[in-house]
Chain A
Amino acid sequence: MKRTWLILLGGIAAGCVAYAGIYLRTTSAQRSMEQSTRPELAWLKKEYHLTDAQFAQVVQLHDAYHPKCAEMCRRIDEQNGKIQQLLAATNAVTPEIKQALDGAAQLRTQCESAMLQHFYEVSRVMPPEQGKRYLAWVQQETLLPGQMVPTSPGKGMTQR
């Protein structure tokens, strides 16, 4: 009976140990990224096979771009608020509404140009093939319309 219990519990223990071992191994990279200071950037290093120096440059470019992005975000909100006010005040397309919509379109062009500029700079830091992959993916996610859920890099172009 003792031997039976040993086999019974030994089997369960072996299963649990195997589960924990493979789970920890599979998620080790993810956990180390979560512990990094910038997990939203750390995945770029793994995904695009960046060296430490390349990744440091990417972080630098990102930090330089971020205030510009926040400023654009503020201007978009401001412009949207203006359009909403104008739309609420009338039931016809007035010259003011046309002007506000033109302003929003111009702002979108400026934002997209700045984004594209940033993406090109980041892609130039990466190894050439990885840079191409990055550009294809990030353009798919940001500049091309109709995107609902971010796709996995390398899959984006085929999913559309």
Chain B
Amino acid sequence: MKENQPFKKNEALSKLLKTWKPEAELPPRFQEAVWNRISCADDARALTLWQAVGVWFEKTFSRPALAISYVAVLLFAGLGAGYWHGDGKTAQAASEWRTRYVQTVDPYQMPR
């Protein structure tokens, strides 16, 4: 008897579901979008890390604004780093020359 009870319940549920008609409308191309998502999920599962990175770059650089931004950021980073490094090097060299000059004119600071 107990075993029949769930079946009876399911039968009742089935009947109820058959009478139910959803009123909400699906968004346009809903079915296609679902299949696309399933397909993408399958692809993602099959990709290695490098392939995933490659796909990410490909998707990112397919947008011109992002590609231009990427190049611009590296360009300005290069300019900034070059200026900072060059300026530091110049200041260091100037400091060394000043020290050497002082050492050549002051007998108390002359290297022994």
**Residues of A bordering B, CB below 8 Å:** 1, 3-4, 7-8, 10-12, 14-27, 29-30, 33-34, 39-44, 47, 62, 65-66, 69-70, 72-73, 76-77, 108, 111, 115, 118-119, 138, 141-142, 150, 152-153
Q: A10-B71, A23-B85, A69-B106 are in contact. List 12 more A-B contacts (CB 8 A).
A: A14-B71, A18-B79, A21-B82, A22-B78, A29-B90, A69-B105, A108-B108, A111-B108, A115-B106, A118-B105, A138-B105, A152-B98
Q: Which of A27, A72, A153 contacts B90 (CB 8 A)?
A: A27
- Flag whether B110 is at the interface (Cβ < 8 A): yes
Listed by A's residue number, 7 A-B pairs whose Cβ atoms lie within 8 Å are: A11-B71, A18-B76, A18-B78, A40-B97, A47-B94, A70-B110, A119-B105
Q: Which of B70, B83, B102 contacts A11 (CB 8 A)?
A: B70
Asked whether B104 lies within 8 Å of A142 as measured between CB atoms, the reply is no
Asked whether B78 lies within 8 Å of A16 as measured between CB atoms, the reply is yes
Asked whether A3 lies within 8 Å of B61 as measured between CB atoms, the reply is yes
Q: Report whether over half of chain B's contact residues are helix, strand or loop; otherwise say mixed.
A: helix
Q: Which residues of A contact B101 (CB under 8 A)?
A: 40-41, 43-44
- Flag whether B75 is at the interface (Cβ < 8 A): yes
Bound together, the chains give a CA A144 to CA B95 distance in angstroms of 19
* Chain B, residue nearest A46 (CB): B94
Asked whether B110 lies within 8 Å of A73 as measured between CB atoms, the reply is yes
Q: Which residues of A contact B99 (CB under 8 A)?
A: 150
The answer to whether A22 and B86 touch (CB under 8 A), given A4-B61, A39-B97, A43-B97, is yes
